Structure 1
C-alpha cells in the first residue's frame, strides 16, 4: 500500500472535485481513494533531513512506518532523531550509505518517483487541498502580515483560503481564495516593504506587527474583554477587530490602529461601565466579561451552573433561553442588545421563566393551556417535570417553534393564540403525573434510558419500560450526583441528566434531530461530502466549529448535525448511544482506543478502509484503518442514523 500510493503521480484537484473524489470512493468499493494534494514539489524530488518540518517528511514517516522502521505512534511531519534513526536503519537494510539523511536515492528505494520540474510547473497556483512546503511558506507569510493566526501546518484548508481572500481584498486583487502568481508576488513585495521599515519608526501598532508591544496591547484588550484569544504578540485581523471595538466604545476614530490616543485610553483605569466590553461573547470566550454575563443570567434564573468565566455550552443555552423569553433573535451570542436587555431588567422586573424545576400557579396555568392544546394529558399539578417538558416540546414542534422544552415568550404567545388542537397520543405512563418511576412506560422512559446509556449506567434495551434495570441505573445516577436516591425521576434528576449527557436524547433508541425534525432526510453521501469540505481545518482540543478548529468528537457532532442528527459531545458517550454493526458501511462511525481505554477517538467511514476524522497531529484528514497505527487500535463500528 505504502510504496504504491507514494509512487503514484500526484493528482491536482479543483475544490469542487474534492467532494466528488471522496463520495466516489464511498460509492465504488475497492477504488483507490484520491486524497487532494497541491502543486508543491512531489515526494521524492528533494532531500529530506533533520530539522525539516513539512508534508514530505510526514509522507516519509508514513512509508517508513508501513515498512516497520518508524515506530513512533503517529507521523508528525517533523524530521527529528527518531526519523533520522529510522532512515539510517532502512539505509543499512537496503545497502545504502548510512547517513540518516533521506537522500533522493533513499527516497527512490522507498518507492518514491521523482516528478520532472517541467511537470511541477504546470500549475503554480495553491488552493484548497494543496499541501507541502509551498503552503507552509504561504501560511508563514500570511501570518507575518496578520492575516493567518492558526498553526502553520502546510495544509491549505478553508482557514488558509479565508486568509488569502482577506489579503487579496486588502491589496485590490481578484478575491478568489487561490494563491496564484499575482497573490504570491504581492505577498513577497509586501514582505520586502515591511522588512525595510524599522519597527521603531512609529509608536503606532498596526496589522502585521509583532513583538512585546503587541503582546502588551493584546493583554490590555483581553483584560477589558475585547480580545478573547491567545496572546501571541502577532497583530492580525482579530487583534485589529478588537482594537476597533475598543475605539468605538471609547469614542475614538475606528481605524484598527493602536495609536497614541488608543494606547492612552487603554491604559486608563476601568470606568464605571466596563460592561460595554462584553460585545459578542460566544462559545470559547473567557474572562471577567463572561463571569459578569453568567452572574447576570444566574441572578435572573437562566443559568444554574458554576460561574467560572468560561463561555461553554451551558452558558450558551442560558443565553438562548433568555433571548427567546424576551423576544430577541436566538443566536446564543451575548451581543450588545442581549447584554443591554439583561441589565435593563432588574430582579423584580424579570419574567418568570417556566422550565424543569419550576412550580406554582404559573405552571398550573401553563399545564392547563397545554392540556387545552392537546399535548398535556394528566391533571395540572403546578409542578414542571419531564412530562410537562415533553408537552411543551410537542407543542413547539407542532407550531414549528424552536424546540427548547422551556415555556418561552414565543411559546406562551402561541398558546394564548392557539385555536387548533394538537393531536398527540399520550404515553401510557403519563397517568403517574410529572414523574418517571418504576412502572412508567412510553417514549419519555425510552429517552431516560437513552440518557442513562450515554453515560454508561444502563446496558439494557431501550424499550420504554421502567423496570428493575432502569430503576437501578437511576439510583446509581442519583447517588453519583448527590441527589435524593429514590429511583424517581423528577425535575432535579431530569435536569442533571440533561447536563451530564450534553444532548437532548431521543425516544427511539438512536440519536436523532435536536430540533424536532426526523432524520428521514439523512443522506450518507451528503454526510461524506459535508465532511470533506473541512479537510485541512486544524485540530484544537475542545474545538467544535470550522473557524475555531475541531477535536475528533467536535468534528463528528458538527458534521452529523448538518444532517439533522444530534450526537453527545464525547466519544465515550457516542459509543454508548450508537447502534453496533458487524462491519462498517459508508457513513458509520468507526471507533478507536488511543490515549485511554475505551472509545477515545473516532471518524466517519468513507469506504475502501478509509475514514475521515480530526487527528491531533493532522487536523481534519483521511486515514487508513489498516495502517500500523490505527489497525491495532480499532474498537468497532456503530451507526448513528
Structure 2
C-alpha cells in the first residue's frame, strides 16, 4: 500500500511538471543536460566580410597557395572508398521552443535570439541568456507584426519567421526559393528540375576558406560566385581537407532548407542552411558549414553528388605538432595534415581525404627511404620531425 502511495505521488508530480512546463521541458528538469555548450560568436549582416575578396584572402593566408594550386589543377578519377557510408540528413543544430517559465529558461540559444531581436529593433532587454518578461514581450511584439498568434513563446513558426526577417535584412533584394522543386533523384541526390542550364554538366567545385569564412563555387576552374558562411568554432573546428558531396536533401522545421553531406570519415559534416542566420560570417558551428537559406538553395542547384569540396585556410591544422603515431587504417584530421604535407613535398598524388590507406602508406615509405629513416610506413616521431610536423 505504501509503495502504491509513493507511485501516485511521483505520478502526480510528473503530471504537474508536464502541465506547467510542457513535456520536453519537464524531461529537461528531470534529466538536465550534463554540460552547456560553450558560447559561440554571433555576427550580423553589417559585420560580415564582403565576399568578393575570397581569392585575395586565400593568397595572403600563409601556407595555402601551394595547396590551392594543387586543388584547382588536380583531376580525380579514383573510385570513392566503399567503406565510407553515405550519411543521411544530420540535424547538427539544436532547436527548442523557448517561453516564459519558472524557473526561467536559460541558454546560449536564448542569448542569440535576444541579440537578433535587438538587432531587428525590438527590446528584449539585456542579452544575458535568460528568457524573462522583457524577452517574452519582445517576442510577442514580433509575433504581432508578423501576424502570428501573440503568445510570447519562441515556437518553431516564430523562429522560422525570425530567420526569414533576419535574412531579408542580411540579403536585401534576393527572393528566397519557393519549395516547388521536384524531389531529388533518389540515386544521385541531384535536383534536375532546378538546375541552371549547363551548370551540372560543367566541372563544378566548391572551395571553402576557413580564414575568410567564405565559400566559392568554381565552374571550369574559375570563380563563379562567393558566399559568406559560418564555420566551426574553436572547440569544434571544421575539417580541413579535400572532400566530396555524398548526399543531398531538403530540410524543414526550423533547421534550414538544404543539406549537402560530405564524405568526412570521422563524423557527419555538411553544407547546410541554418535557423541561426546571425551566425553567418563567424566561427559558430559544430564543424558544419552554415549558409543563409537563400544561398544554400542557390548552390544546391549548381552541384551534384560527387562534386569536390576543398576546405583550406586553417593554418594551425597544417603546421600543428601532431600527437601520437599514425599508420594504415587511421582516419582523422591528423591524417589529412600528413597527406597535405606529403602532397606539398611531391610524394602523394591522391586527395587528402583523412584516410590512411595504401597510397598514403607507400608515400610515407618513399619519404622515409629518401630521408634515411626506417621504412615502416608509419608516421612516428622521427618521421613527423622530418616532415616538420
Q: TM-score, normalised by structure 2?
A: 0.28
Q: Which has the higher helix share?
A: 1
Q: Which has the higher strand share?
A: 2
> Which protein shows a greater Rg?
1
Q: TM-score, normalised by structure 1?
A: 0.20
